[in-house]
Amino acid sequence: MKNYFNHWGISVILILLWAPLQAQKPPKTLVYEAQPTLIVLPEGQSFNRTNVSVLGQEVLGLNQDSSFELDRQNTDELGYTHDVYTQYYQGIPVAFAKLKIHSFQGQVKSLTNTTVPIENIELRPVLSSTSAFNSAKAHVNAQTYLWEDQVSSEMMDYNIPQGDLVIMAPLKDVLNEPRLAYKFDIYATEPLYRADVYVDATNGRVLFENKKIHHADTPATGTSLYNGTVSFTADSFSSGYRLRQTTDGNGIETYDMNSSTQYQNATDVVSATTTFGGSTDIGVQAHWGAEQTHKYFLQNHNRNSYTGTGTVIRSYVSYGNNYVNAFWNGSVMTYGDGDGNNYGPLVSLDIVGHEITHGVTEYAANLVYSYESGALNESFSDIFGEAIENFGAGTNDWLMGDQIGAGGSGGALRSMSNPNQFGDPDTYLGTNWYTGSGDNGGVHYNSGVQNYWFYLLTVGGTGTNDFGDPFDVMGSGMEKAAAI
């Protein structure tokens, strides 16, 4: 059985190291940030995990107009059950408002809470969904949209959005009070864009966009591109073999977009024999990386694909011309070939692990891709990118994407062992901490803080943070650190 108390002991040590910084520079009072608050129930306070409405009123202080609907449930290796609920107010869902109930043998032990108290809000929309949709489209202002291409829409299981009525909760630097809004999943293909766009149901103002395309952030077997000869599973068909398989979960499939940006133009990566070589090396690298990522999450965390239910993992390589990026779009993984000068194809094992982990985070935590929660989102992808690199290749360099550099330039995007090397912070609110609104509030920059935390948690280290506080951490190794 896992040593639960040792895991928490290591976490408490790091929390204590963090505490002096919080005491020295307390953050300013902010409205709800869609970031969770942990509530540990005191001894003697007992609730059954099914008494959700009672918990909402007696522990969270919500009124009787708030209710909850179960999203998902799982039981972990330690026997704890985790129920995730969405908050509703008079039958309307509250965006980003979740209640996670952590229980053992039916009794609630703690809550992870992002619910919000709501009172006296107007629930009758002034605008029609059509008018709100026009506002959302005007905000995006794209040349083409995915719903205009029926074949590609069906491939992505995507339809033109009709608009869901929701209550938009207060959000840092966005909204100070709850507002009734329409939510639209807008997917544009030129220029590339996908986000949930929230439009005020009273005046048509765009309140917020929660972006779904999460980039690797770079301006920047057969024979794989970066890991030599690798072994993987392919699919036999009438013309030979292709990079598809159904061994892992419900399958892993890898396609070549042939420099197109239209997914319907993608073709199979094929070989006449079971030995893939030559021009298939980019596809082989992505396919092998996806297999390693699936195996890692299943073997180490008992998670079957990014959804936890075995969903097919689809990857598309060679997207566009000289495209220096990789992204998760809410449905599939997509990788550019780089510019051929400073950057090569963005299919290294750590980048593949990073992108698929965005899918894991979306389905496991649904962190808002903005400011600090967005930085945590990016950091979790970096963390598991490194864990998967360790799992698949047996080594760690603590650099994100180092292998993609072309022409000897070096391609690393971030360093987890020394975030300052790339201008990222290693201390909360310390040197290089990004305070602007660019990069969705610094999601790639400020990820350095948790990245460095994970590095210390894994290998240990001593030093002094940016506020003069000394630390001395004993590493717990990759397996325990990743489990935490």
State the first-to-last Cα distance of the chain, in angstroms, to the nearest integer: 15
How far is the C-alpha of 80 from the C-alpha of 106, rounded, in Å?
9
- What six digits make up the tokens of 333? 């993984």
As given in the structure block, the two tokens for residue 270 are 């094929």
Residues identified as active-site: 355, 444
Between the CA of residue 212 and those of 303, 327, 359, 377, what are the distances in Å? 22, 9, 10, 12
Pull the structure tokens for residue 8.
């928490």
Cα separation, 308 vs 297, in Å, equals: 9
Cα-atom radius of gyration of the chain, to the nearest Å?
23
Question: Around Cβ 306, how many Cβ atoms within 10 Å?
Answer: 25
- Looking at the DSSP assignment, which residues form a beta bridge with residue 317? 256
Under 8 Å between Cβ of 56 and 66: yes
Q: What type of residue sits at position 438?
A: G
Query: Distance (Å, rounded) from C-alpha 358 to C-alpha 400?
Result: 15
Give counts: helices (H), strands (E), the chain: 10, 26
Sequence-distant (≥ 6) Cβ neighbours of residue 148 within 8 angstroms: none
